[in-house]
A and B are shown apart, each in its own frame.
Chain A
Amino acid sequence: MAWYDEDSWATAAFAPKLSTIIVVGLITFLVPIFLHYLAYRRAAASAKATKGILLIGPSGAGKTAFLTTAERKSIAQTHTSTAPLTIRATLPSPHVPASAAFRAPGDPSFERARSFNLTDTPGHGKLRRFATSKLNDTLGLCGIIFVVDAAYISEDPGLVETSEYLHDTLLALQKRAASSSKSGREAKELPVLIAANKLDLFTALPPHLAKLQLEKAISRVRRSRAKGLKNSGATLSEGDDGGADEESEWLGEWGEGEFEFTQLEEVGVTVSVAGGNLVGGEKVDVDAWWEWVAERL
């Protein structure tokens, strides 16, 4: 029975039969619904991925303290972290998330916009791989808070440690942007807030000074990295993959001159600085940080 026979499927498809009409009707109605469902699912999945803020910074800066404050509105005692932690946090009430600025406070989607994931990472030198792995896994990540002890960076050892970590973080972000632009996708903007903590202490640098100091220290780090020894990687594994990406190794504009945070804006990393204090002082004063978070949500 060939397809052109009288009772073949091709003839039946064009015949005025009830079954044909029903099948055609079903297809006409179901296909658009199905397509819509597919498209909607994909859009919803990307929208639903809860927004996340990542906390990084050297040990003892106050990352976990900020996390606990965000969660329970009061200071909890903390110690050196050895493992990362993610919590669901809610933006405190006077701040309004930027994506829901037009919504009324009672609106359920307003409440939904206010909650976000806050991830704390250990800051100890040996445990920074947690933070770097989190940087690469960017689903829903919409901001990075680099917590800095403003009193600690007023002296040299602290400044060196902090600036090196900040340098590495920013370099990782720059590399991320470079690799995503290479693969054709538009690099997602990833703003960084340098949160100068512990401003209640007498020796703490005010935020604008902290920014200047860090910029200076980073240019020093960049200079000494440029002069430093090459990595053992290529030599030991005997594969010549070193030096392939020479230009993305340097932070900012080809690693020349003085470093400024504004140099990173062209790779989609805006750096802002805000001060605050968590433990100590009269009261917890991190409104500037919350404001920044609110703009990102």
Chain B
Amino acid sequence: MLDTFEILTTSGVVLWSRAYVPVGANIINSLIRDVFIEERIQPQSEDSSSKPTYRKDGYTLKWTSEKDLGLIFVAVYQSLVHLTWIDKLLDNVRALFTGLYGEQLKKEHTSVVSCEKFAPYFERQMQELEGQSDASSSTAPNAKLTPPSTDNDSAEESSPKQPNLLKPQRPLYDTSADSTPVPTPDTSRPNTPGQSHLLTGRPKLGQKLSRRDKKKAAGLNSAPASSGDEAGTKRKGKGAAAKKNRVWGEFGADEEDDSVLDYSQSDLRDDASANEALEEIKPETWGRKTNKGQFVLKDLDEEMDQIIAEQNAKKQSSTASASGGLVGSSLGAIGGLFRNVVGGKTLTKEDLAKSLKGMEEHLLKKNVAREAAVRLCESVERDLMGLKTSSFTTVESTIRTSMEKALTKMLTPTSSLDLLREIQTVNASGRPYVLSIVGVNGVGKSTNLSKIAFFLLQNHHRVLVAAADTFRSGAVEQLRVHVRNLKELSKREGGEVDLFEKGYGKDAANIAADAVVHASKSNFNVVLIDTAGRRHNDQRLMSSLEKFGKLAKPDKILMVGEALVGSDSVAQARNFNASFGPGRGLDGFVISKCDTVGDMVGTLVSMVHATGIPVVFLGVGQHYADLRGLNVGNVCRLLMN
């Protein structure tokens, strides 16, 4: 069963929600964080038949979005349940909601959308789709859902017999009742479905609740009869009354005729505001005359189908317009050329394709791996499809700014990367800070390790360098030279550095663990562990990293990647990230040899793109001091020009 359905804006305001079982706000928050902001989970392309899913804490979330209006539609249900009709529901609700409230949503300077009346539409959709899936499940479990227009007739026919199908129609009757002179008492009751239903369900057992949620839940439990429940039962109770009105026999028809045709009386009785309301609402918009001359309210289903059909037609026409006739296309081409210069052009896939190809090539020239370049271009395309270019901007420049934005967003780290700060925090808890460095052969692991050591020594830390590369001959000696140099350099600064070595051939993980123990005994506050270089696609070599991670328990694992590497960077980053076993990954990248590539710093982008892990340091020269932090704006500028 569906747990929660929410319609929210990109600015974070929930416009409409229906909760059958309360779901913690953190579920949807983590969806937004992981999918929309950090883009950890790549959404599938638009034309694939099923909507993307996201799983968290035993819930499955499906979503769709309306970019122009900045809307996100999210459906949450428990992963144990298999719901086939969620995709259809999301599509229909999106079409309905944008059709009904599109005008309101376009208004600026407000976050309020009065969509209280949306509940019956939603309920109707739910019932329809659920009913369909029930019916189809007896014949074929995965039968394709038929469009609602075909089976609506049957639903309409059956509607008078089924009271539960009638129930949601009542609020629509309310809307029309606004114009009748004497409103029935229950019409004035505001319809607040989201809040009222929040209270009916019980939270799932074992679900993590925030402090606030717990408090809220406690408050609710203490109140014996919540207003929401009351409203729910009341509505059910009144279902019978509503039903009576719905029977279009003699009584119902007479009543309607009275209320509609009696304009003169309403004029006499009502004040000016009511008159205005009457004038605004044309009878055609909310009902029609039957051939007998009786006025019949428009059915909810009809209206719903109409809206959905309208929206779908709009979508189709926008895609079809590109492939018009010969004359139309040539005229369109001239107009398109003109608009391309002046702006105000609605971007389609065809418009973007050529410029995006160029952008992709440009990125490839900057040494971005093909996979990353293609995916970046795809995300830009998703971002721009259906948008209007602003005046006096070409398609190219629009793509450029969008790409720049995408790059900035990707390279900007989520959390702070202040190494000194972290060391301080860890040391405060009484143990040394352990940093280890991994990477492919010859990328500069030992060099960058000594650069980091130099940086830490300048900040008066006591650093222990552990030589856990027990494989390559000369590795320990190399570190010994580095440590000797650093000792000389740091004498004046006041830092202290030492080497921890156990010779060759021993198990690296054990040496690392011993080094940490030794450091905490002899009062070092930072341990830097150098590891042997290994090929990232060699299972045998990579498997030892998991043991290493478990024994040494590094606070931070940095991977060194060289800026010179091409499309292999993606695989390197992925494999190293996965090699520490579940629950542990890399914490950052050090991109070495940046001074040798000029403006072709694409490796940075490929690595971050493949893993979502930030770049912590850049190696920009041969000296100990040539270590830099990342300046996102600068890198973006280098990549874009």
Contact = CB atoms under 8 A, between A and B. Distances in A.
A125 B425 contact: no
Contacts of A202: 211
A68 B13 contact: yes
B638 A229 contact: no
B637 interface: yes
Contact of B418 (A77, A81, A224): A224
Contacts of A232: 594, 618, 620, 628-631, 634-635
A76 B116 CA distance: 13
A280 B215 contact: yes
Contact of A230 (B111, B216, B413, B628): B628
DSSP class of B's interface residues: helix, strand, loop or mixed? mixed
Contact of A77 (B17, B416, B424, B458): B17
A67 B111 contact: yes
A236 B37 contact: no
Interface stretch (B27-35, B143-151, B153-161, B238-246): B27-35
B11 A236 contact: no
A125 B417 CA distance: 12
Interface string B108-119: 111110000000
Nearest to B451: A229
Contacts of B215: 280
Contact of A80 (B12, B594, B633): B12
Interface in A224-283: 224-225, 227-233, 235-237, 279-280
B325 to A, nearest CB: 39
A235 B413 contact: no
A117 interface: yes
A126 B38 contact: yes
Interface residues of A, number: 54
A179 B493 CA distance: 35
26 contacts: A64-B12, A71-B110, A76-B14, A77-B14, A77-B17, A78-B14, A80-B33, A82-B37, A85-B9, A85-B111, A86-B109, A87-B110, A87-B111, A117-B109, A122-B37, A126-B37, A160-B425, A161-B416, A202-B211, A228-B418, A228-B420, A229-B455, A229-B629, A231-B631, A236-B599, A236-B631
A84 interface: yes
The 9 closest A-B pairs by CB, nearest first: A81-B12, A85-B11, A232-B628, A77-B14, A83-B10, A233-B631, A233-B634, A80-B32, A64-B12
Contacts of B211: 151, 201-203
B194 interface: yes
A82 B628 contact: no
Given A231-B631, A233-B634, A82 B109 contact: no
Interface string A140-168: 00000000000100001000110010000
B409 A68 contact: no
Nearest to B195: A77
A235 B212 contact: no
Given A79-B29, A124-B33, A280-B215, A235 B12 contact: no
Interface string B1-33: 000001011111110010000000100110011
B75 to A, nearest CB: 14
A159 B110 CA distance: 32
Interface string A49-62: 00000000001100
A231 B12 contact: no
B421 interface: yes
B497 to A, nearest CB: 17
B392 interface: no
Contacts of B36: 82
Interface string B523-566: 00000000000000000000000000000000000000000000
B13 A78 contact: yes
B415 A229 contact: no
A233 B25 CA distance: 40
A127 interface: yes
Contacts of A36: none
B421 A220 contact: yes
A125 B614 CA distance: 12
Given A77-B194, A83-B11, A229 B111 contact: no
A271 to B, nearest CB: 21
Contacts of A128: 412
Interface of A: 59-60, 64, 67-68, 71-72, 76-88, 117, 120, 122, 124-129, 151, 156, 160-161, 164, 198, 201-203, 220-221, 224-225, 227-233, 235-237, 279-280
Contacts, number: 163
B459 interface: yes
A201 B215 CA distance: 9
A125 B632 CA distance: 13
Interface in B389-435: 408-409, 412-416, 418-421, 424-425
Given A76-B14, A201-B212, A229 B617 contact: yes
A219 B463 CA distance: 25
Contact of A72 (B6, B112, B618): B112
Nearest to A70: B111
A278 to B, nearest CB: 11
Contacts of A236: 594, 599, 601, 618, 620, 631, 634-635, 638
A227 B11 CA distance: 37
B129 interface: no
Contacts of B630: 231-232
A236 B413 CA distance: 19
Nearest to B634: A233
Residue from A117, A221, A224 whose CB has the most chain B CB atoms within 10 Å? A224
B382 to A, nearest CB: 14
Contact of B425 (A83, A122, A156): A156
Contacts of A81: 10-12
A203 B210 CA distance: 13
B70 interface: yes
Given A77-B17, A78-B12, A160 B628 contact: no
Contacts of A124: 33, 37, 414
B499 interface: no
Contacts of B32: 79-80, 82
A56 to B, nearest CB: 14
B610 interface: no
A215 B155 CA distance: 65
Contacts of A220: 421, 424
B421 A68 contact: no
A127 B409 contact: yes
B356 interface: no
B617 to A, nearest CB: 7
Contacts of A221: 418, 421
Nearest to B413: A125
B421 A224 contact: yes
B629 A79 contact: no
A127 B37 contact: yes
Contact of A76 (B10, B13, B633): B13
Nearest to A281: B215
Contacts of B637: 237
A160 B112 contact: no
A23 to B, nearest CB: 42
Contacts of B29: 60, 79-80
A85 B12 CA distance: 9
Interface string B469-492: 000000000000000000000000
Contacts of A160: 416, 421, 425
B468 interface: no
A127 B216 CA distance: 30
B628 A84 contact: no
Contacts of A161: 415-416
Interface string B91-124: 0000000000000000011111000000000000
B430 to A, nearest CB: 15
Contacts of A59: 33
B627 interface: yes
Given A79-B32, A220-B421, A237-B634, A231 B629 contact: yes
A237 B629 contact: no
Nearest to A63: B12
